[in-house]
Amino acid sequence: MKEFADWLSHTSLSVLIQNHNSWMIPTIQSVNIVGIGIVIVSVFMVDLRILGLAGTDQTVKETTNRFGPWLTGALCVLLATGLLMVVGEPVRELITISFWVKMFLVAVGTLIASIFQIVLRKHDQHWQDELIHRVSIKGLAILTFLIWVAIIVLGRLIAYDHVWGSWSPATKA
Amino acid sequence: MDLSTFLATLESSNVAVSIRNSLYIFPLIESAHVCGLAMVFGTIAIIDMRLLGLASTRRPFRKLASDVLKWTWAAFVLTAITGALMFITNASVYYHNVFFRTKMLALVLAGINMLVFELTTGRSIHRWDKDAAAPTAGKTAAVVSLALWIGIIFLGRWIGFTTTRATTIPQEKAPEINFDDIFQQAPDNPPAQPGK
């Protein structure tokens, strides 16, 4: 991974970002934060609907139709800005445990959101009448939100990977 | 007490000293700050999109606002507290930082924008509550709000890039706590190197 990071840091896009890092890096990070704000709130509103804490004048399907596209769109923004950050600062990103755990959780979070939307589209009445009243589904809604909270925390901890002590490859490098 | 003495008092307070002396507290406070501001921005964006007629248009504005705004305020409290905690660790540096000052100004302007909205467009809410979009004044408030909050996010990130964090912990030094020891992992079985 160190070799890959070194190679990546010599690509022309990486050199371009590095040469303008004083404004490019904070700009990319800021856009990333704007995106994560849309993502976490989209997940949050659907979760609140499942928990019966918001939007109860609408069905779960209506709520998901409202926030699903924004979630997808904002995830694309996160992917684009995330890739730019990795290309711009490969060593800082890739040689940390925070980054890899974060990527794992992003995959889990995205998978849950995708499966939920597919299943809901097919069985929206079943969700509306029965599933959202189940404790396990309510628990899953809370867990999903917490996964995205953890993603934000880990994103910030990439800059402080030494907090993981011996688990962090950054402290060994 | 003049201002620089006040800032110095904040910096030497027990809370500020404990944060500076810890390897973990500042990163965790900053993480909570980002969680809070993501929620503040995201929930405000929902309201602004509704005012502009771009989303949630079939829900009455008042219903949406009562669902969303309590979370905005809860997240704002978290963000303000964590922001203040970060500020006192290095108060005199942040106070003189131009991006910090601009961010505080933008926060005040966002507050004024909200007040103006409440006192004008908000007063006639019964007339447009169910409309797909707010009247022009409401739309203007929404655009101003979105611009200010996105600006606040950018300014916040710029503070981090233009100040050095005050800490007594050497940044590159491994912490005293060794997670391998805590979980009693055998020394010949080190944790997998991620990505390799």
In our burial notation (b when 16+ CB lie closer than 10 A, e otherwise), range B158-171 reads bbeeeeebbbeeee
Residue B55 has pLDDT above 90, yes or no: yes
| Non-local CB neighbours of B107 within 8 Å, separated by 6+ positions | B152
Q: Do B43 and A41 touch (CB under 8 A)?
A: yes
Give the count of beta carbons closer than 10 Å to the beta carbon of residue A151. 22
- C-alpha span between A86 and B92 (Å, rounded): 33
Q: Does B181 score more than 60 pLDDT?
A: no
For helices B25-52 and B136-162, angle between their N-to-C axes, nearest 10 degrees: 160
Question: What domain count does chain A have?
Answer: 1
Q: At what angle do helices B61-88 and B3-12 cross, to 10 degrees?
A: 90
Tokens linked to B98? 């131009």
Percent of chain A with pLDDT over 90: 87
Could you tell me the pTM of the whole model?
0.90
Q: Could you list the residue range(s) of the whole structural domain that residue A44 is in?
A: 2-172
Residue B175: pLDDT above 70? no
pLDDT at B4: 93
pLDDT at site B182: 54
Whether A147 and chain B come into contact, CB under 8 Å, resolves to: no
User: Residue B122 carries which DSSP code?
Assistant: G
Mean pLDDT of chain B: 89
CA distance A66 to A44: 12
Nearest neighbour of B154 by CB, restricted to A30, A41, A159? A30
Mean pLDDT value of segment A53-73? 95
Reading the block at residue A105, the tokens are 């959780």
- Contact call for A30 and B31, based on CB within 8 A: no
Quick one: what percent of chain A has pLDDT higher than 70? 99
Mean pLDDT of A37-61: 96
Residue A95, phi then psi, degrees to nearest 5: -95, 50
Closest CA to A49 of A143, A123, A141: A141
A19 has pLDDT over 90: yes
